[in-house]
Chain A
Amino acid sequence: MAALLEVEHINAGYGFLQVLWDVSLKVEEGEFVCLLGANGAGKTTTLRTIAGFLKPTAGDIRFEGKSIAKTPAYQISQMGISFVSESLNLFTNMSVRENLLLGAYRVLDKKKQLEALDFVFSLFPRLKERERQLAGTMSGGERKMLAIARGMMSMPKLLLVDEPSLGLAPQVVVAVFEALQTLRKEGVTILLVEQNVPSTLRITDRGYVMEYGKIVLEGPSKELMNNEHVRVAYMGI
């Protein structure tokens, strides 16, 4: 059976600047996969291309066996891929609740919307307390949680998360990672981009390592954790 997400030999970039070179990766249903790499390696570019905000100039991307390489971003979202970007892209002048309801924009059933709301509130009780606060006035950590929760509101088949730990205090990072682990236990398939290598490898099943726009290593997280290159380059050991 084909994997949930298959990225096959894609090239992508910005205008004349090619960033991704022959990138291939796949995510099986129910898997928690991470994509690691240094600054500027092309991790964000990879996620943007999968989510449809950039179009690959070569290669193919398949989701549930269907090519989505040319599909507009909003349709990819409707097909069941939620993208939680680095910049979060929250609706800052709307309340937390409205942001969440917009996360369920493609869910037409009111009852399902409320269920999803209950689910993300159980995941992040903090958001429930701040239901009516404007998203723009939330703290950095709360905003990250809101973005992840908004991404979950449509009960996606695949969640793409870009550096959720960036700029957060260590305790908040722990909270965010715990939330991702809970999601994973709920059966959500996740592709996570992170720079926080040790903690990421501890919670994920499998990982890819990206350097200069190419995948240079892949394997089960446990193996990567003991890999000589990973230890030297990313864990400073």
Chain B
Amino acid sequence: MEATRVQPSFGERLMLNLRSRPAAWIMIAMTLGFLVIIGIFAGPSQLVNTIVTGGMWALMAVGLALVFGVMNIPHFAHGDSFMIGAYVAYFVFTPIQASLRDNPNPVLSAVGPLIAWAAAALVGFVVGAIMEKLVFYPLRQRTRKGWVMNTFLLTVGISFVLVYGTNLILGPNFRGVPNYWNMPPIVIGSVRLTMERIAAFVVAIVAIVAFWIFLSSTRTGRAIRAVAQDEMGAEMVGINLNFIYTLTFALATAMAALAGASLLFMFPAYPTVGLKPLYFAWYVVMLVGLGNVQGAIVGGFIVAVLQTLTQQFFGVSYEDVVPVVVMILVLLLVPNGIFGSEVKGIQEQ
């Protein structure tokens, strides 16, 4: 059955990608090695932490890579999508929690957090779509000249508006949810796994896998990749670019919001909570190559490992330093990132 032969799978593509890129190999091997070292020296709970964080950075970085790859926008307001997700989850979950206190309901207490997360993703999607239609769409109609620089400045501006707007309306206080579930941690040997961590990890993995399947084997996902590779070719086959742009931006925002919501137990919501995830997502995409979505998934875990190692062996205050140093080294040695970039030429006509 020649005609129905399947596409190369994610694994096959990744392998193909890796075979020609020793830097990527080295980084992945080192990451796996370091994961073992973390497990042995820092304890299994640190290992779990690293994996949870890695999933989250991957979730953030995928959106960033997508927005750059498809729209050529260096998105510096991506952290604020995380912030929006955190607030939405807080404001949806707190009333649920309050009502549960008065009349306990096992079903609601199990799915309550999931409702809050879904709400965050949904709000993120809508906010992303509005942002695209309100800001980038009009700019694109006017001119593509200096697009990357202009959109960079615009996203920084959007970020300021969102951060200070939030500060004005909600104030600078922290709003957190220490436990989404009132359940004792699961203990396996010396590892204590809280439900929050497990759920955050599962959500990151499910979201990334679902997104991957969407991109690789649905009609619309294929259209998104087509636009990333050749805009004119995409229009030639009948793809509406404006629709794809809006969808892409909305999806990226939804994923960041989902990350913010599911990490609310680690990062309480406050106006600038998105800064750190923003920086780390940028470390990831610069490390693996701008606009490389597959690479961003692996890169999330690489950066999380670097982060844990730094905390463990140099102290928490160096947490940002080491990834930046690694990033600089990578940019000096492999300027396109360790996975190389699949991104179309940055349009500067």
Contacts and interface: CB of A to CB of B under 8 A. Distances in A.
Interface of A: 51, 53, 72-75, 77-78, 82-83, 85, 88-95, 97-98, 101-103, 105-106, 114, 117-118, 121, 128, 131-132, 150-151, 154
Interface stretch (B51-59, B152-160, B230-238, B308-316): B230-238
B240 interface: yes
B235 A53 contact: yes
Given A90-B230, A92-B229, A98-B222, A74 B241 contact: yes
Contacts of A114: 3
A-B residue pairs, 7 tightest by C-beta = A89-B233, A77-B238, A106-B238, A73-B235, A78-B238, A91-B229, A105-B237
B2 A77 contact: no
B8 A128 contact: no
B239 interface: yes
Given A83-B236, A101-B222, A105-B239, 19 more contacts: A72-B240, A73-B235, A74-B239, A74-B240, A75-B238, A77-B236, A89-B232, A91-B225, A92-B229, A94-B229, A97-B5, A102-B226, A105-B238, A117-B3, A131-B5, A132-B5, A132-B8, A150-B237, A151-B236
A130 to B, nearest CB: 11
B219 A105 contact: yes
B305 interface: no
B238 A118 contact: no
B123 to A, nearest CB: 30
A132 B236 CA distance: 22
Contacts of B342: 93
B7 interface: yes
Contact of B237 (A93, A103, A132): A103
Contacts of A132: 5, 7-8
B226 A118 contact: no
Given A89-B230, A98-B222, A73 B236 contact: yes
Given A102-B222, A105-B238, A91 B233 contact: yes
Interface residues of B, number: 23
A154 B7 contact: no
Contacts of B235: 53, 72-74, 77
Given A95-B8, A117-B3, A121-B3, A102 B230 contact: no
B234 to A, nearest CB: 8
Nearest to B6: A132
B237 A106 contact: yes
Interface in B148-189: none
A131 B241 CA distance: 26
Contacts of A151: 236
A4 B233 CA distance: 24
Nearest to A129: B2
A154 B8 CA distance: 24
Contacts of B240: 72, 74
A94 B225 contact: yes
30 contacts: A53-B232, A72-B235, A72-B240, A73-B236, A74-B235, A74-B240, A83-B236, A85-B232, A90-B230, A90-B233, A92-B229, A93-B229, A94-B226, A95-B7, A101-B222, A102-B222, A102-B223, A102-B237, A102-B239, A105-B219, A105-B223, A105-B226, A105-B239, A114-B3, A118-B3, A121-B3, A131-B2, A131-B5, A150-B237, A154-B237
A73 B241 CA distance: 10
Nearest to B219: A105
A128 B2 contact: yes
Interface in B1-40: 2-3, 5, 7-8
Contacts of B2: 128, 131
Contacts of B230: 89-92
Contacts of A118: 3
Contact of A91 (B8, B219, B226): B226
Contacts of A82: 236
Contacts of B8: 95, 132
A154 B222 CA distance: 16
Given A95-B8, A98-B222, A105-B223, A154 B238 contact: yes
Among B219, B230, B233, B235, residue most surrounded by chain A Cβ atoms (within 10 Å): B233
Contacts of B223: 102, 105
Contacts of A90: 230, 233
A90 to B, nearest CB: 6
Contacts of A91: 225-226, 229-230, 233
Contacts of A53: 232, 235
A131 B7 CA distance: 9
Interface string B207-249: 0000000000001001101100110111111111100000000
Contacts of A88: 233
A85 B236 contact: yes
Contacts of B219: 105
